[in-house]
Amino acid sequence: MNELQDLYREVILDHNRSPRNFGELDDADRIVEGVNPLCGDKMTLYLKLDGDKVEDVRFTGTGCAISVASSSLMTERIKGATTTESLELFERIHDMLAAPDFDVATANADLEKLAALSGVREYPTRVKCASLAWHALKNALTGSEAKVTTE
C-alpha cells in the first residue's frame, strides 16, 4: 500500500508542478469561477464545447497542490469526452472523495490517474480543495455560470 500511496503522491506533485491545460481559453463557450476560502484556492474554468463533446478545456488560478493537481487531472481526463461522460465522471469523483461507502480499491482500476485523489478522503478539509474544479465543471456543463464556492 505504501508504494501505491507514493505513486499517488508523485502524480499529485507532478500535476502541481506542471499543470496540464493551464491558461485561458479565448474562445471558451463557458467560463466558471471557483473559490475555496478555507484554503485560499481560486480558479477559473474555461470550457469549449463542440455539440455534446468537450472540445477543449483549460483552467487558471492559484491554490494548494491538491487543488491545482485536481484541476489538471480533470482537464486531462475530460478533453474529448461527452458532456454526459463528464457529468458521470463528476459523480464518481464526488463519491470517491466524500461517500463513506465508496470502494476505493475497485475504483482505482478505471479511474487511472484520477485515483491519486482518493487519499484526500482521509483529510476532510482537503476534500474541498480536490472537489473545487469538479464543481466548476458541473456548473459549466449544465450551463450555470454561477461562481462556485466550497463554503
Q: Read off the pLDDT of each residue in 68-90 and give the average, rounded to a whole number.
A: 97
Question: Cell 474529448 appears where?
Answer: 80
At residue 73, does pLDDT exceed 70? yes
Q: Read off the pLDDT of each residue in 85-94 and give the average, rounded to a whole number.
A: 96
- Name the pLDDT band for 108 (thresholds 50, 70, 90): low
For residue 66, with 0-12 CB atoms within 10 Å meaning exposed, 13-18 middle and 19 or more buried, which class applies? buried
**Cell representation of residue 76:** 486531462
Range of the domain at 143: 2-149
Which domain CATH number covers 120? 3.90.1010.10
Residue 107: the pLDDT is: 66
Q: Read off the pLDDT of each residue in 83-96 and give the average, rounded to a whole number.
A: 96
Helix axes 2-17, 65-78, angle to 10 degrees: 90
Instruction: State in Å, rounded, how far the first CA of the chain is from the last one.
Output: 33
- Name the pLDDT band for 100 (thresholds 50, 70, 90): confident
48 vs 107 pLDDT, higher one: 48
Tell me how many domains the chain contains.
1
